Structure 1
Amino acid sequence: MNFSGNHLKALLFDVDGTLAETEELHRLAFNAAFAGQGLNWHWSQDLYRELLQVAGGRERIRAWLAQAHAHLLEQPDIDDRIAVLHRLKTDHYTAGVAAGRMALRPGVARLIGEARSAGLRLAIVTTTSRANVDALLAATLGTDWEELFDAICSGDEGLPKKPAPDAYRWTLDRLGLDGGDCVAIEDTANGVQAARAAGVPVLVTESLYSRGEDFDGALAVLSDLGEPGQPFHVVAGKDPGAGWADLALLRRLLC
């Protein structure tokens, strides 16, 4: 599929791991929720890295139960118990964000500002809950953050999770754009697969928990979006020839 930088009209951002290195706080929040319910469960960093292959917090709990406590899945109230755990986990996560434990990754705020100034449209495309999105972006972009984005797709839409392309297709429909009019910014292989299946080219900024994944199909894999004086390094793919991702760089990658 061919793309053209001359037709770039929108940037589509994933959230967890892409806008901010959130996954470690998510892991700690899961463990706090387990402990709060008197459960002797603990997700280590290595285990959590494996569980992140499953998109969605409730889905992640269920997948882990299938591995470690399969008999619990037979209990008639298991869906309610998973929902309670996930709600408590979200409470712990949002409290951590509100306490100032998260910051945007290098280059994110700069690129959002540049895109807005240039008249490009912006969207959020994530499978995390809207509560998590609200907490993170209110703390990092301000309480009026929603005004920056023309479409916001979160896990609350009830769509199939990435790597399914549904969240991207939903967003493109809301924007009234074709996939080739956009660039997605993602940090995981699941995100790359979802965007590419919807016809959207993808730039990857790998994160703490996604390093070493197979990002086949991405335009390039960078350490982050970079800043003047704090350049990214190219992990894989096309070398864009600059130290920070701006609109000019994205258009070069698309050519």
Structure 2
Amino acid sequence: MFKAVIFDMDGVIIDSEPVHLKLEYEIYDELGIDVTREEHSTFVGTTSHYMWDTLKKKYKLSQDLDYLVNHAREKYFNHLTSEECEVALVEGVRDFIRKLHERGTKLAIASSSPLNVIEAVVKIFKLEEYFEVLVTGDMVRKSKPEPDIFIYAAEKLGVSPNECIVVEDSHNGVRAAKKAGMKCIGYKNISSGNQDISMADLVVEAFSEVDADRLFK
């Protein structure tokens, strides 16, 4: 019996990947590195520490890892909280979240984004009443595609992994959910790039395709 749904945030709750792409390529230009779109897409769903550690080693960047991570995070947070913010809710996701909440489902966000970004998104889009747990990749040892973040979210919710459904849009996120022993809904967001989410238990192109009541039968 499923008791909880754990949502990824970027690309699932908010359509933020195009903004991430734009801002991160501005940083790549600053650093003078040529990162292909294909390579960039492999980092979707991972933590900024994982991404910048990988890029620092590959491109032999002289900048300190903490500087790279903090610079990228500050750049995105400043955009997110500005009047010029281009990030919007994914179509249909609010109704889906509301229906789950109304039926008494425990809800969590488990995102590789830092906590201040998760909290800002929840506040900006008025989602505070729905989520009882907010988990960031900074709280666990290993980034997606390892299962740490989802196992930790389940612990915080007080449920077993086999009582959870994860909603993800990235290859790394779906892999993490399955490694955690959880069922997974793969949301095919074209803004997230060509992500292989075929290993999800259910793949949808719109949240209107998901019947919240039937999930728990």
What band does the TM-score fall into relative to the shorter chain?
0.7 to 0.9
Pair 1:58-2:49 in alignment: yes
Alpha-carbon separation, structure 2, partners of 1:224 and 1:93: 27
Q: What is the match of residue 79 of structure 1?
A: 65
Alpha-carbon separation, structure 2, partners of 1:202 and 1:41: 35
Q: What is the match of residue 235 of structure 1?
A: none
Superposed, which structure 2 residues align to 1:1-255 within 5 Å? 7-33=1-27, 38-41=30-33, 43=35, 45-52=37-44, 55-67=46-58, 69-70=59-60, 72=61, 75=62, 78-95=64-81, 99-140=84-125, 142=126, 145-207=127-189, 208-216=191-199, 218-226=200-208, 244-251=209-216
Secondary structure at the residue paired with 2:128? helix
Structure 1 vs Structure 2: percent identity of aligned residues? Answer: 22
Secondary structure at the residue paired with 1:202? strand
CA offset at residue 204 of structure 1? 0.6
Matched-pair contact (CA < 8 Å) for 1:9–1:121? yes
Alpha-carbon separation, structure 2, partners of 1:138 and 1:42: 35
CA offset at residue 224 of structure 1? 2.2
Q: Could you list the runs of 5+ residues in structure 1 that have no partner in the other structure?
A: 1-6, 227-243
Instruction: Go from structure 1 to structure 2 and tell me whether the alpha carbon gap of 1:203 and 1:64 turns closer, same or farther (over 3 Å shift).
Output: same
**1:91-116 CA deviation, whole Å, 9 max, x = no partner?**
344246x5341222122100111111
Alpha-carbon separation, structure 2, partners of 1:223 and 1:41: 34
Alpha-carbon separation, structure 1, partners of 2:192 and 2:40: 8
**Letter of the 1:135 counterpart:** A
Measured on the aligned residues, the alpha-carbon RMSD in Å equals: 2.5
Alpha-carbon separation, structure 1, partners of 2:164 and 2:216: 10
Secondary structure at the residue paired with 1:183? strand
Q: Could you tell me the TM-score, scaled by structure 2's length?
A: 0.86
Q: How many residues align?
A: 216
Alpha-carbon separation, structure 1, partners of 2:65 and 2:50: 11
Secondary structure at the residue paired with 2:185? strand
Q: Which has the larger radius of gyration?
A: 1
Q: Could you list the runs of 5+ residues in structure 2 that have no partner in the other structure?
A: none
Secondary structure at the residue paired with 2:166? strand
**1:174-221 CA deviation, whole Å, 9 max, x = no partner?**
1111122221111112112211222210011022224351532x2111
Moved more, 126-135 or 39-48: 39-48
Secondary structure at the residue paired with 2:150? helix
Matched-pair contact (CA < 8 Å) for 2:8–2:166? yes
Matched-pair contact (CA < 8 Å) for 1:188–1:213? yes
